[in-house]
Structure 1
């Protein structure tokens, strides 16, 4: 039985100069399961043969091509393709290992189906003589063909596939003596004439015989001529498709012919008798079954699936006259449902439509900002819905700051305690207490600290110092005190990160608490991902790359400071430059829609470059002149450390657009987005195109500080601002379409001074804030690097460079504080190697052109 499920797609051809030429030995193989003791029958490797084998639900196609008079093997599987290999095993093994990432090796002949009796018989079907091999002492002989040449022996000797010598003689012994090699053998033994299988083959060739074709061509014609001369007539009703004929000598043969025709039409007379050829009877019956069924899964495809995997394409096409597509579909049907089985029914899904009342309840729940606050920047890949928080997946749910400065610092601290507790007896007695205190402190900073940190209604807070490492430092050698100091700074930075998250998240409620009938709070932000994932994949015009969406939430106080009204303005535009002028134009369009206009406003946004910019701040300074509105302040929040209501609003936009697409509508232009989100409470949508001015610089003064209510004010003088401001400040005059009218209003209820947590006072988390390598140290490092380019045996690693620098410290050529870390040297090597390659390339280019 075959080991694999193999289909012969194309049998290939036997080529005379390949299969019977100088390299014929390579074009014949033995069956892997053939264990004949006296001789080994061989099977041909036909040029162009193609087989498809299914292994682990994956198809592998092997093809034989010509490779310098020898067979070459190619293996294909989906997008993978092997090189031209000398053996089928190497070809299939290389692709199988790539496909399944394994080291398993496969037998190529078994994969090609040389253990399949049906495939082997097809390969031998056109052979007049089947070659075989056998062994004599120290030699392996192959008999390719037996031919009678009137007792004349011819021996041809080839070298590098070229004929070099030819010997003729009356018998094998004479020719062998003339050649002068292998004298220990006789000619008859060396040429295989004494082997039993050779003798049987010669005897078979010498025996006269007549084939069926010869009999039909000669004897049958003679019998037919004899019947005609005796007055007989052919009355066979079958036509030429039957090998049997009916003859009669009746004076009126038409009656006999009519009777036989009637019997044949009534199925009482068969063109092929039941006991004559069961194979033809099978194919005929199968053809009738196909003809009796309609096309489709439950018709011809299901019937053909019974045998589709049992026979190769050529046989089925020849016997049943069906297309390759039908055979392929029938094989696919057999793999899924089973050969001839009833097609599996797909599960029925019943969708029940929600009542109008339930729909309104669900919609109102998700539109309530008090119930849903989700991020609009990240969506789940499986559902396409917005996720609640943004964390890095490879950190186990932690943000990068919490992982590096929080968990890793406590990890290192616990390792130090365990290590030196084993060396110091006094510290070992306090080990459990120190580990417990360390765990308690870690738990406190992660959970309890955020709950205990209070921010009052004015946005102020207080904190107490809570980190002390002196107890551990007393029992640890002085050379590690610097490491403890670094860990302390790490934990202080982690604590500052936790503090900023709580503090900045409280600023929204603090600003809302200061609102009255005269003022307004404005929150602004850009929505980055406008379309849902499914729409982005199908929209080949890439709408997001040519359109921007800017959102503005305006809070105003109503009803004696107990209720707040929120107006949302979403402006879409084909101008994708998210800069200060676009923001100012969007604010201009929104503030003109507020009636009555407030006397003063407060802004909240993230610290992105489109807001955290001198251009926009200077434009805000002109609002009193343009709109008679005084801008009190602009609060910038860290994107990773604070969330506001506008994130929930953007999540609602994502949900509305996704629902719009799921209902079958297309998002092809900005007006489609207006239609999708017009039902959100308190939301107005409009098309905005800013008119960008060109002019000279104009400067003004600007006070600023890092965090609201904390830190010193920094006054930016006109001299400083002149370097920042690039264009003349003009009042925006954008082209704005008519804002849509909200279908329902949006109402919500009215809802610590220390600088240690400011980012400007932190040692970590600043880009480019680390210690730089001094110039004289770089000179030494360049020398070490270039020494390796001159002689590879002198190449330095980062550790070896660090060791050499420490030796220079001992000799007094360097200060210890100037020696960088091994990791710093490693980073420098990467940067310098790139710069050095670019420099060498430029020098070579200049020398070539000169």
Structure 2
């Protein structure tokens, strides 16, 4: 059988890229025994999938190859030197399985060879910035190279009109560089000097340029904007696509799911807390499962919302989401409050831990940095304002 491949040739001699889905499990019968291959989080290489094979109460360690996982366990059980192809065992040559794996995939990574480097473009973002040759916010690519004499994974992104390099040793960020253009940000890194940074980003490659020079009229990932939330037909499309179609949990119980968006629009703050806001549309004591939560987050993105959480997932499962057209002010305000120690995460519920003058000074500073929204109005975060009287807010913050 052929060795591991992440691409499969179809009948047209084209290469079809098939994604590995986390938590995917495939069972097969080999020599009269049932073997199960599972895709898990790779603990040693977090940017690659991990594979575990199980049979007869025996399991392998996490492997970076499906072929290694199945072959190792088979040889251990039967004492033979037979080797198997992981992709074949997992059904990557089965049209029905491939079709299911490709469901909802809207963008296929572009692999670019630059001498000894392999650049992987995993997302496209558009702009009219000449220094970025049409690439804009959301553009994402990666490259493997050496940094400080160690093999490193480099994440390349354009965020808030800034080009960012994040360099990882295993799962740890060891360096970060920012500048206005890909060329300049790579110069700051001090490595791979004979290459132009815009090439290392993958932006100048013909396949990428073809996409960038022909931007879609509509963002295919976004179904509506906040201004369209009053159109329930459009909201229903987003709900059907991201919640109902996935059949996650008891969607039949969600007869009032639109209230999530109605209430959000009616409140003065542009920010809500997830999953707290979702619990209001489910029956009392209903436990929202992980898959449901992921589906709702996808729907929020499709409806024009942005995750503005100022801390990492390992600190808390709660998240803050903004409906602002430009969420940068919400994000910076939350970050300032969090860095000042004014938002404490206790029992997965954010609370304000200090009502002293230090609190008011820090809150006032955060507010001054983000004085007004796009409509010229000052807004106080509802997660904070609900803890104080209206007169206190006016007196201390002078708003």
Q: Give the TM-score category using the shorter length.
A: 0.3 to 0.5
Q: Provide TM-score, normalisation by structure 1.
A: 0.21
Please identify which structure carries the higher helix content: 1
Please identify which structure carries the higher strand content: 2
Q: Provide TM-score, normalisation by structure 2.
A: 0.41
